[in-house]
Structures are given as C-alpha cells and as structure tokens.
Amino acid sequence: MQKILATCLIAAAITLAPGAAQARVDVGIGIGIPGIVVAPAAPVSYEPAPVYVEPPRPVVVAPSYYEDWEARAWREQQWRERRWREREWRERHRKWHRRHDDDDDD
C-alpha cells in the first residue's frame, strides 16, 4: 500500500511541477482609437556665432639635444677611456718610481 501511495505522490509531483514550462497560446484583441494628432513644430536652426581662431605660430626646426646623441656618447666614451689611461699611467709610474727609488738608496 505504501508503494502505491509513494508512486501516486511522485506522479502527482511530476505532473504539477512543470506547469510553468507548458506551452500555451494567448489571444488578445485590441481596438485602437486614434487620439489627437499634433503636427510637430518646424525645426528652427540658428547659425553659430563666428569664432576667431588665432593663426598658428611658425615652427622653427633647430638641432636639439637628442639629434647628436651618438656623437656625444662617442665623445663621452673617449673621455672616459682617456681618464682611465691617465690614472693607469700615474699608478704605474708611481709604482715604477717606488721600485727604482728604493734601489738608489742602497
């Protein structure tokens, strides 16, 4: 008996559950009565006020800092190498004099 009752309850739940998903056809009847029709106003256009635009300033093209960056980079590299050579020469010269000056004292 319980099996029959459970089966009936499940069948009822299955039957009632997809109620919103059922397809249906609605028929509507409308009677249209036109209301008062007002013609739109004619468009009004105004000319804009004249605008004074200042003429552009002349453009002057002159060499800038960045145009000759390769030459500047090369000069800087040469300067650094020259400074390095001078330091190396002085250091070697000092060492040479230290060695040879000590020999003279003996």
pLDDT at residue 46 in the model: 83
pLDDT at residue 102 in the model: 66
58-86: pLDDT as tens digits? 888 776 666 677 888 889 999 999 999 99
Most confident of 32-46, 51-65, 82-96: 82-96
In the numeric block, which tokens belong to residue 94?
Answer: 């000092």
Q: How confident is the model over 48-56, as a mean pLDDT?
A: 86
pLDDT at residue 80 in the model: 95
Name the residue among 83, 86, 85 with its Cα closest to residue 75: 83
Distance (Å, whole) CA 80 – CA 93 = 20
Distance (Å, whole) CA 98 – CA 106 = 13
The single-letter code of the amino acid at 44 is V
The single-letter code of the amino acid at 39 is A
pTM: 0.29
